[in-house]
């Protein structure tokens, strides 16, 4: 799916699900065994990352508190189209996540509690702390303001000690900005079609 506004796809053209599983689930959520665990997603978008996290939370029976920020929510027809080839409980969970009202906290399952906030990251007033951050903004080429030191520092401030920040982006400027904010930064192998990605941690 492509954003008309930003001219960029929501996920890798090499496979949305495999990218999301690699960048956010394996390299982020799967790296901590905190239970309960609190996750912040920048850019709820199609809901794919949230849905995959719910499936993982169910599998691991891990209580997950998921906060997602989104400035431009998709319309029902857009997310329904993305769910049309799914069946059974997987389809039901995707629908349930999308039907959660904005700005409310709702338990979708016993293990997955979500709060979707319709807000601009730049104006967001955080009221919580997070163990894992999925930084899934559009690229620095199209939204450089979301990768600035000011904005990434705002995110850094709401991360718990030992917190993990993961993103598909591998840009040197982003890596250096994260380092300048005190993160321990790694370049790790990216998903299919991308040599590298960035993962950063807050010192424990």
Ligand X SMILES: C[S@@+](CC[C@H](N)C(=O)[O-])C[C@H]1O[C@@H](n2cnc3c(N)ncnc32)[C@H](O)[C@@H]1O
Residue numbers at the binding site for ligand X (CB under 6 A): 10, 43, 45-46, 48-49, 69-72, 120-122, 136-138, 143, 146
Q: Which is nearer to ligand X, 9 or 179 (CB)?
A: 9
Q: What is the dihedral of CA 84, 87, 93, 95, to 10 degrees?
A: 30
Report the nearest approach of ligand X to the CB of residue 13 (Å). Answer: 13
Q: Which is nearer to ligand X, 111 or 168 (CB)?
A: 168
Report the nearest approach of ligand X to the CB of residue 1 (Å). Answer: 8
Q: Which is nearer to ligand X, 70 or 131 (CB)?
A: 70
Q: Which is nearer to ligand X, 19 or 131 (CB)?
A: 19
Give the start-end residues of each E strand in the chain: 37-42, 64-70, 105-107, 112-118, 130-135, 159-167, 184-189, 196-201
Residue of minimal Cβ distance to ligand X: 45
Report the nearest approach of ligand X to the CB of residue 122 (Å). Answer: 6
SS (H, E, C) 98-158: HHCCCCCEEECCCCEEEEEEECCCCCCCCCCCEEEEEECCCCCCCCHHHHCHHHHHHHHHC
CA distance 196 to 168: 8
Report the nearest approach of ligand X to the CB of residue 165 (Å). Answer: 14
Report the nearest approach of ligand X to the CB of residue 161 (Å). Answer: 25
From residue 86, alpha-carbon distances to 12, 43, 92, 95, 145 in Å are 20, 23, 9, 10, 36
Q: Which is nearer to ligand X, 61 or 123 (CB)?
A: 123
């Amino acid at each position: 799916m492509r954003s008309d506004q930003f001219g960029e796809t929501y996920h890798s053209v090499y496979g949305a699900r495999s990218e999301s599983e690699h960048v956010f689930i394996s390299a982020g959520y799967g790296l901590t065994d905190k239970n309960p665990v609190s996750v912040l997603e920048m850019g709820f978008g199609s809901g794919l990352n949230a849905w995959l996290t719910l499936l993982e939370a169910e599998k691991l029976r891990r209580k997950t508190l998921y906060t997602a920020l989104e400035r431009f929510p998709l319309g029902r027809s857009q997310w329904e189209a993305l769910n049309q080839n799914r069946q059974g409980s997987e389809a039901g969970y995707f629908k349930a996540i999308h039907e959660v009202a904005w700005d409310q906290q709702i338990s979708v399952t016993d293990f997955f509690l979500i709060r979707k906030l319709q807000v601009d990251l730049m104006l967001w007033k955080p009221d919580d702390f997070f163990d894992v951050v999925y930084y899934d903004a559009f690229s620095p080429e199209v939204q450089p303001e979301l990768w600035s030191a000011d904005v990434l520092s705002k995110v850094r401030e709401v991360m718990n000690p030992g917190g993990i920040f993961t993103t598909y982006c591998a840009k040197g400027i982003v890596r250096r900005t994260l380092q300048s904010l005190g993160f321990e930064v790694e370049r790790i192998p990216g998903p299919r079609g991308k040599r590298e990605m960035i993962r950063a941690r807050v010192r424990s």
